[in-house]
Amino acid sequence: MAALGSPLRTLRGLLRELRHASARAGRPYRDTPAYQHVMAAFRAHRVTSEKLCRAQQELHFQAATYLCLLRSVREHLALHREYHGKGERSPREVAGLVGFRLPQQPGGKG
């Protein structure tokens, strides 16, 4: 199993993704139920002594998994918006999309 990193880093990543998601919705991310739930869960499972806390490890794993899901969905939507078909395109647009340039025709036509 891969190392999860610190819980604080995971929490910050989750809050960053919630901020991105709520920006699309047009409301402050601190007013969302997701923000309140995440903060309550992290506060309830913080370690106050040096004992092994299985619940905290499970929470951290779930939070890291959810962070991966949120980040992947956001990146997928960005790629989908960029490359999703917009109907019929001209050959010049298709060539530009994949990084090519069409050759110039002699006589200045094109």
* pLDDT tens-digit series, residues 29-88: 888 898 999 999 888 877 666 566 677 788 889 999 999 999 999 999 999 988 887 788
Residue 49: the pLDDT is 61
Residue 52: the pLDDT is 63
Residue 1: the pLDDT is 43
Domains of the chain by residue range: 7-98
pTM for the full model? 0.64
Q: What is the mean pLDDT of residues 96-100?
A: 85
* pLDDT tens-digit series, residues 6-15: 888 999 999 9
- pLDDT at residue 110 tops 60: no
| CB 104 within 8 Å of CB 110 | yes
CB atoms within 10 A of CB 12: 12
